[in-house]
Each structure stands twice: as C-alpha cells, then as structure tokens.
Amino acid sequence: MSSIARIEESLRETIISRPDMILDDKDLMHALIAANERAMGGNIVDLRGIAMERLEARLDRLEDTHRSVIAAAYENLAGTNQIHRAILRMLDPLEFEPFLKDLGGEVAQILRVDVIKLVLESKQNDREPAIRRLGDVLSVAEPGFVEDFIASGREAPIRPVTLRQISHGDGRVYGTRAEFIRSEACLKLDFGPGRLPGLLVMGSEDPHQFTPQQGTDLLAFFAGVFERSMRRWLN
C-alpha cells in the first residue's frame, strides 16, 4: 500500500509541477471530461464541456485553414518563380528567330506547357521564309482572328488573359497537336498604337492545367513583358 501511495504521490507532484502535460494531451483531456460528466450524472448539462467541444472544433477548422493558406502561399511562390525564370530565359536572345524558337522550347519547358503558339494578325497573307521556318511557333491570321478565338462564339468582354478547359484544340493554332490539347491560356497582346493585336496561346494536355477558377495575375505580367519584347522586332 505504501508503494502505491508513493506512486500516486509522485504522479500527483508531476501533474502539479507540469500541468501543461495534461492540457496539451487531447486524449487525456477527453477522458477527464468524460469522467467529470459521469460523476455529475445524466441530468446535468455541462456547459463548460460543450463550450470546450465547440472551441476544439473551431481550433481544428482554424488549423485546416492555416494549412491551406500555407499551401496556397507556397504554390503562389512557386508559380512566381516559374514565371520569373521563363521571362529571364525569354529575354536572353538578341535576334528574332532564336527568341521565338526559345519560346516554343525552353520557355515552354519552364512553364510546363505542351505547346506555345504566337499568332499575329496581318492584312497580308504573309508566307515569307522566316514565317515558314518558325511555323512550329508562329502563325499569321487575318484581322479579327484574335478576338474571335478568345470569344469562342460567346458574347462576353475580351479579357487580357482567358483560361479554359476544352475538348480539343483549334487546328488553326495547334496544327497536328490540336486533338491532344485539353486546356489553354489565351493571352491577348497589345503591340502599341496603329498595330494589330496578337495572341499568345499556351496549350496543355492536362485538363486541369488551366481552369477559369485560377488567378491570372502572373500570366498577365508575363504577357506584358512579352509585348514589350516583341515591340523590338516589329517594324
């Protein structure tokens, strides 16, 4: 009996000296609350216990929100770094052809998209050798094509960046890759006063790569840098 008493006294002293061990242990607190409710009997409502349960549920929700916010922050930071790397690579070339070839090559790889296409509106049916050489990245369309492509038959304001999921890509833009495209980002380009607009299209085989619910700030920034870079090459 004296041995048991010593154990109980030792445990009691430990709890008194370090009550945080009890308070921080969720399972132990539940056991203590349940024992308290049984001791009070079934006819007594323990308001403190109810309040604690509600606070605990609220804490769980706050922890879930906290984790979601942190995850979103990391994802946003990763997206920002990705756009910055793509812009730096895009600014490296000093000539037009390497500039566009990099766009469809290393820049597309950095952005993790399957296809990048640049569409320029022109009043002439340009089939110059440079256009033919860059056909994998560059195409020329008639005036009005850009807005028609972005609107896709819907009457809605044309936004600078449009994200959407599609059943397949447009063959006029993607060529032989069109049937594999499941989502795309359409970036409308403004090359300055007196110039026809352009269109930068990023296509992905992943239907969840671009969706209307996603933010467009980073892509709008990328489009702004691209516009200013293109103005160097346009006569």
Q: For the full predicted model, state whether its pTM sits above 0.85.
A: no
Q: Answer whether 32's CB lies under 8 Å from 49's CB.
A: no
Instruction: Give the pLDDT confidence score for residue 3 in this predicted structure.
Output: 45
Place of tokens 């050489």: 133
Residue 156: what pLDDT? 72
SS3 192: coil
Alpha-carbon gap, residue 173 to 202, rounded angstroms? 10
- pLDDT (0 to 100) of residue 166: 93
Instruction: Give the DSSP H or E segment for 25.
Output: none
- Tell me what pLDDT residue 31 has: 74
pLDDT of residue 49: 64
Q: Are strands 161-165 and 115-121 parallel, antiparallel or unpaired?
A: unpaired
Please report the pLDDT score of residue 201 as a whole number.
95
Q: What share of the chain is helix, strand, coil (3-state, %, to 5)?
A: 55, 15, 30
Strands 115-121 and 138-141: parallel
pLDDT of res. 183: 96
Say which DSSP state 93 is in: -
Collect the ranges in the chain with pLDDT lower than 70. 1-7, 35-50, 52, 71-72, 74, 124-135, 235
Q: Which fold has domain 94-230?
A: Beta-Lactamase (3.30.450)
Write down the pLDDT at residue 65.
Answer: 78
Q: What is the pLDDT of residues 109-129, one digit of tens each?
A: 999 999 999 998 887 655 555
Q: What is the DSSP letter of 157?
A: P
